[in-house]
Structure 1
């Protein structure tokens, strides 16, 4: 079964997610922004979700992680789920 590890930032609005993505693309630290802005308890770890299996996350999140070809520098999103809007940095998939 496929596994991945990722960081994420969860916010209420798409506009907030886009603004944070712009900051990251201009050099802001993903983990620092996660600690400050994310609504997820993972914010205490800089948005680190650890390792998870395909199918463990809500479908839109899972699809974004496992179907995108990304490197550690790129940020996926905003990805809308029932929880809000996510920015995702995939650390690895295997």
Structure 2
């Protein structure tokens, strides 16, 4: 199984909550990633490309596995911070 995802990485839980609200209000994920994310992927609107099992930290991968394509996660905490993840693809 392979997945494709984008994410917005932040440290502050209040900021993560605000970003989620902006997304629910219709803001564009890519624009918010470029604006807020601390990950270098922000230059690509948060796009992490295609990846398979064990390529990402476990909590991140678990979230991507359970999301349906096009859906956005609640903030997921890892050692890197808080990730808001959008699953953008899946293939066998």
- Report the TM range for the smaller structure's normalisation: over 0.9
Q: Aligned pair 1:71/2:83, yes or no?
A: no
Name the counterpart of 1:62: 61
Helix, strand or coil: the match of 1:77?
coil
Residue-by-residue CA offset, 1:17-47 (whole Å, 9 max, x unaligned): 1110110010000000000100000000000
CA gap 1:79/1:27 in 2 versus in 1, 3 angstroms: same
> Partner residue of 1:32?
31
Moved over 6 A (4+): none
TM-score between the two structures when normalised by the length of structure 2? 0.94
Q: Which 5+ residue runs of structure 2 have no aligned equivalent?
A: none
For structure 1, list consecutive stretches of 5 or more residues without a partner in the other structure: none
Equivalences for 1:1-40 in 2 at 5 Å?
2-40=1-39
Instruction: Give yes or no for the alignment of 1:93 onto 2:90.
Output: yes
Question: Aligned runs of 1:44-59 on 2, under 5 Å?
Answer: 44-59=43-58
